[in-house]
Structure 1
Amino acid sequence: MILSPRRIVALAILFVVGGISVAEAQQKESRWEKTIAGFEAVDAKNPPQPGGIVFTGSSSVRMWDLKKSFPELQLVNRGFGGSEIADSTEFAPRFLIPHKPRQIVLYAGDNDIAKGKDAAAVIEDFQQFVNTISTALPETKIAFLAIKPSISRWKLWPTMKAANEGIAAICEADPKLDFIDISPDMFGDDGKPDPALFAKDGLHMTPAGYERWTARVRKTLGW
């Protein structure tokens, strides 16, 4: 069969687009696979005890010295830098649900908005995370750490604030959900993110920032 030039171009476009889609999927899988497999390896070596507390989410969790902040509690840190809410949902069956924790604390949404998602999409992603966990672990409580205002992403704060408000409303309606509003703790006297709480990149936090978070978590969850 002889193909017309137009047909050849159309097929070429489909091939390229399809190739990009496959490549993107492979890139996403490979990006997190090593990290998630690492979590699984740790759990296989030291099986988690049911009824614990797991923190998960993006780099703000990964970089948090939880043992220093909550020395009296048995906590597991399952943060993975750069992740979005949907990533924690997708891999929950592999690194969260097997723990059968009594409490999950999630910080995510920051990267989601930085990568272009609007508030509605972030709120929907949070609801999907809740649905996934609640279906598998109906007794597990979930706490969401509010998306923080930061120096480097200050222009995105209106969207982040809207996402926080929507997620707070979801949490308010469910006794097994808690919204930990750390955002007021991140501002200075000028109404902008306090530089003393942030590293040089204006995004990640200093120990002083984590002290604010620790105090807010303790107050909200009664720890």
Structure 2
Amino acid sequence: MTWLLGVGDSLMLGAEVPSAAGGTGSPLVSRVAAKLRIGQVAHGVRAERGATANRLLELTGDVGAFGVMLVSAGVNDAYAGTEPVIVAEWMATFLARFAPHGQVVVIGVPPIAPTARLSRIRRRNLGARLTTLNELYPALCADAAASFFDPARLGDAEDPALWCADGLHLSEPGYDRLTSELVRFLREK
């Protein structure tokens, strides 16, 4: 059994964060597993850069038993212009399939950093879609007996230290804060 499973987009992968050894940083689920002292064989990742909520079922097609599943999706959908209600429908389908089999935690979509290289109109439209998703996700989670991790727990999203240069992906300090807050959240559950 996989005790801790991460499913979703680049937030799960730590894809944009450079590691000390070159390449990219470790996946979010590996960071959480280390803090919770979960062994290597007891956690895994099913994620890809650019994944959308619609891809979640494909990414998890053959998932067996799990204890806790961390799910991150919606940013890429919002960026592509998909209406939040459609994304919410995809997430509801995903939750209906997996929530009965273990604890599922949907990580709300983080806000856009002020340093993101987006036009004012693009920033406003994307920000509105992300806000709407974070308003829809808690009810979806409640209906499916899943949990919602509110990205507001991260604190000041405008802190430039939390973001990579693109303003869309978390930096190493951003992942450190997210990891600490997720661990705290999981221990509260």
- Into which bin does the TM-score normalised by the smaller protein fall? 0.7 to 0.9
Aligned to 2:12: 61
> Normalising by the residue count of structure 2, what TM-score does the alignment of the two structures yield?
0.77
Match of 1:159 among 129, 133, 137: 129
Residue in structure 1 matching 2:176, options 211, 216, 220:
211
Q: Is the 8 A contact 2:54 2:90 kept in 1?
A: yes
User: In percent, how many aligned pairs have the same letter?
Assistant: 21
TM-score when normalising by structure 1 = 0.66
Greater Rg by CA: 1
Q: Which amino acid aligns with 1:143?
A: V
Compared with structure 1, are the counterparts of its residues 216 and 65 closer, same or farther at alpha carbon in structure 2 (3 Å cutoff)?
Answer: closer
Tell me which moved more, 150-159 or 74-83: 150-159
Partner residue of 2:109 out of 108, 129, 147: 147
Task: Tell me the secondary structure at the aligned position of residue 78 of structure 2.
Answer: helix
The structure, 1 or 2, with the larger RCO (C-alpha pairs under 8 Å, 6+ apart) is 2
Q: Which residue of 2 aligns with 1:81?
A: 49
Post-superposition CA distance 1:142-196 (Å, at most 9, x none): 1100001022364312211111111111223443x000012352535xxxx3211
Structure with greater helix share of residues: 1
Q: Which amino acid aligns with 1:56?
A: V
Which sections of structure 2, spanning at least 5 residues, go unmatched? 15-26
- Return the match for 1:133 from 98, 101, 109: 98
Structure 2 SS opposite 1:103: strand
Give the CA RMSD over aligned residues. 2.0
List structure 1 segments (4+ residues) > 6 angstroms apart after TM superposition. Answer: none
Secondary structure, counterpart of 2:44 in structure 1? strand
Distance 2:170 2:51 in 1: 17
